[in-house]
Structure formats: structure tokens, C-alpha cells
Amino acid sequence: MTDMNMKEYIEEAEKDLLHTYNRYRIVLDKGEGVHLYDIEGKEYLDFVAGISVFALGYGNKEYNDALKNQIDKVIHTSNYYYNVPAIEAAKALKKYSGMDRVFFTNSGAEAIEGAIKTARKYGFNKDGRTDHEIIAMNHSFHGRTMGALSVTGNPHYRDAFEPGIGNIRFADYNDLESVKKLVNDKTIAILLETVQGEGGLTPATDEFIKGIRQICDEKDILMICDEIQCGMGRTGYPFAFMKYGIKPDVITVAKALGCGVPIGAFAMTEKVGSSSLVAGDHGTTYGGNPLCCAAAAKVLEIMERDDIPGKALKTGEYLWKKLDEVAAEFTQIKEHRGRGLMQGLVFDRPVGDIINKALEKGLILINAGSDIIRFVPPLIITEADIDAMIVILKEAIAETVK
């Protein structure tokens, strides 16, 4: 297959792969810095980063060397044995997040599954009941597995797969009264994205997130913050919840934790860890394997040492300024949302044509819903890269919204 052109590769993929994605019609081959290249050599400025994954950009030598060195040692051992990379990664994640106990998974969806099980076991240990409820948020997105889907507040994703796991109730994001109305003696957890991603790049308000923390404190309910997309420096803080001066009981992490290798985690306070899951309650064959944990340990080292969140905060301010200018220029843009290097422009129409036009011009963008362009570049992006993106973005908008 090595002599096939891009069109032929795509035709082959359409015959072989399950049609669960509407893919953009390019075949990517390699990356360097904040650029990707297709198999024909065309260069693309990347403002997607594998959907908030490649925080350190492509070809980071320190990161690549950590993976290569681990491959030559051992890749997998199973969780019946300890391995040094998992111990180092857990210690680093504890320090970076302020949590006390860590469980490594293979993905963000699995991290959500673990957080749900943690909450239910915490409730069971408290009163022996199995009918506890979890309050999640409308317009949220937590993943595609049955548990993660069950707490995703978008019926479009859930309808064909109902019934879900049950005992899930949905409140409105940034509406504290809607949460209070759902709280009862069965409530064991309140789950929210600190910044909603797929739901529209919307940060939690101070009143909302602090109000949820107060409810949870008063009623011994677990506060679970999904930091899968907004964590790991993306909003200008190691984790987005830190801006609010609160601490969740459980957090979920993935995406940039591994910067490309499949790793996620759920982490919790000592109180929750000592009152929930025990041996036999939860497990994973691949989770916490030495290869992925070597990547995570190195990512966390670089994030802290080089103050990647601080750089993202500063560059995010510049991106905000430039996108504000674009929003002022085009009446089709209704709103500008987000925080740090996780921003979105809300249009009065579907944005697919704009994204496709930008792709033709060498800029990779992604949507969040049908009417929002999402900007989640590698966290090493520069102001010059943002300027180059803005030029193409404005051309793409001007050529498609006539």
C-alpha cells in the first residue's frame, strides 16, 4: 500500500473502517512543532492538537526519547506487579493536581467510568444502598462508553443506546438553582466539566462551581470535575478547577496527560480513596502500563518545569484579543467563549464549510457542535502562529459566508 496516493488511501479506508466518523479528506503522515504534514507533503498549521491532546507539539525530543527508552525496557507487565514509570507518573500527577490517590486508565471515557464507580461504591459503603443518584449537566460530553454516555447531557448521543446505567439526573450548567432542585437523599455525586468542551467552550462561573462545592460539603456528596479536555495546562492553570480556589473530591484526566499515547486517570482525595474502591472492585489490563506511564511522567515533568500552563495563559490572552477582532469584523459571529487556549467562536450558521475552506488553505480547525469553531492548539503555540492562523481564518470566513 506504500505506493498509493491520498485519494486511494481514503478509498481503502472507506472500505475497511467502520463508518463512525465523517473524516476530513486528508491522510496525515508526520508532525513537527505545531505543524502537520499529509502524505503528499502539504503543511498544515494545527489548531486542534488531536483534540487537545498534543500539548507539547510534535517531535518533542525529550518526550520521544522517554518513549523510546521505555520501549527497549518493557512495555507491559499487567497490574499484578509494580512498575517504576507508573509509580513516578502517579507521584507527579498527585503533586500537579493536589489529589491523593490515582488510578490509570486507557482513555478519558474509562476515567469517567472509574469516577462513576468510585461514587457509587462510596455511597454503598456509607449506607449500604444501591439506588444512589448522580447529577450531571445538560450539554455536557463525557465519552462514548455506556457509563460515560449515560452522564452525557445530550440526548442526541444517548437516544439510540438507551437505557443507560440509570439514576442519572441532569441540571443546567451554570444554573445553581437547577442543581439544588435535583439534590435529595439519594444524591451521591455531582459531575461537571470545569469548562464544557463539546457543549460550547463554556467555563463554569464562580458562583456555580463554588455553590456546588458548598452543596457537596454540606451533604457529603462527591464533587467530580471532568478535566479531560480542560486540564493539563490548557486553561492557563495545571487544572481548570484551580482558578476557582476549590478542590474537587474526584477528577478525571486524559488527552494531554499522555500527549498522544492512550492514557487517562481518575484521581481522588484520601478520604474518597479510603472509602470507596478496593481490590476486586475495578481493574484494567493495559491501564498504567510502563510505556504510557513513561510518557505521562515525562509530560508532567515538562509541564511543571517549563511552566506550560503559564505560557498557555499568556498566549491565550493574545488569542482572545485576536479572535475578538475577528468577531468584531464578521456579523455572522454571535459570541466568543472560552479560557486560555480553549476558545470558541459561535456562528449564526453551521461552520463545516469554513473549516473545510481553512483546511484547503493549510489550517486545521475543528467544530464543537454544528455552529462553533473550536481553537485548541498545542500549548507551545506562539503569537506568530496565532497571527498566521488569523489570516487564514479570516479568508476562510470571508469566502464562505457571502
Q: Using one digit for the tens of pLDDT, what is the confidence trace for 160-175?
A: 999 999 999 999 999 9
Over residues 236-273, the pLDDT tens digits come to 999 999 999 999 999 999 999 999 999 999 999 999 99
Among the listed residues 106, 101, 109, the one whose alpha carbon sits nearest the alpha carbon of residue 142: 109
Any idea where the domains of the chain sit in the sequence? Answer: 6-59+307-400, 73-305
Q: Is the pLDDT of residue 35 over 70?
A: yes
Which residues lie below 8 Å from residue 198, measured CB to CB, with a gap of 6+?
140, 141, 154, 368, 369
Whole-number percent of the chain with pLDDT over 90: 95
- Please report which confidence band the pLDDT of residue 2 belongs to, taking 50, 70 and 90 as the band edges: low
- Please report which confidence band the pLDDT of residue 3 belongs to, taking 50, 70 and 90 as the band edges: confident
Over residues 309-361, the pLDDT tens digits come to 999 999 999 999 999 999 999 999 999 999 999 999 999 999 999 999 999 99
The average pLDDT across 51-57 equals 97
Q: Is the pLDDT of residue 101 over 60?
A: yes
pLDDT at 4: 87
The average pLDDT across 270-284 equals 97
Q: Which amino acid is at 91?
A: K
In a 3-state reduction of DSSP, which class is residue 374?
strand
CATH of domain 6-59+307-400: 3.90.1150.10
Which residues lie below 8 Å from residue 230, measured CB to CB, with a gap of 6+?
193, 194, 195, 197, 239, 240, 339, 342
Please answer whether residues 88 and 293 qualify as being in contact, where contact means their C-beta atoms are separated by less than 8 angstroms: yes
pLDDT at 134: 98
Query: At 314, which helix (H) or strand (E)?
Result: helix 308-329
pLDDT at 401: 87
pLDDT at 20: 86
Q: Which CATH architecture describes the domain 73-305?
A: 3-Layer(aba) Sandwich (3.40)
pLDDT at 86: 98
